[in-house]
Structure 1
Amino acid sequence: MKFAIVRFGGSNCDLDVHHILNDVVGVSTDLVWYKDSIEDYDGVVIPGGFSYGDYLRAGAIAARTPIMNAISRLAEAGKPVLGICNGFQILVESGLLPGALRTNEYPKFCCRWVNLRVEKTDTAFTSKFRKGEIVRMPIAHKEGNFFADDATLRGMNSNREIAFRYVDSDGDAVPDSNPNGSVANTAGVVNTSGTVLGMMPHPERASEAVLGSDDGLRIFESMVEYADASRDISVSTPKSMVKVSPGLKLLFSHTPNYQNQSASYH
Structure 2
Amino acid sequence: MLEIYCDSSYNENEDSYIGCTVLRGGRQIHQSTTRVPASPENNLECELDALDFAVSLARIFCGTDKEIFIYNDSTEAVRAFQAKRVEIEKEFPGSGVSLNFEYIPREKVHQATADSLSKKFPVFFLDVLSFEVESFSRREDILSDIARNERSVFYLEKVPEESTNKKTCYRLVIRSFKKILSDDRLYPIKKGGPGTQVRAAEQIRKDLSDPEIRSDLEVKGVRLENSYFLLTDETWGLRGTDNQAQSILPTTVPHRIICDEVDRSPENLFMRAERFS
Same fold (TM over 0.5): no
TM-score normalised by the chain length of structure 2: 0.24
Normalising by structure 1, we get a TM-score of 0.25
Structure number having the greater strand percentage: 2
Q: Which has the higher contact order (CA 8 A, sep 6+)?
A: 1
Q: Which has the larger radius of gyration?
A: 2
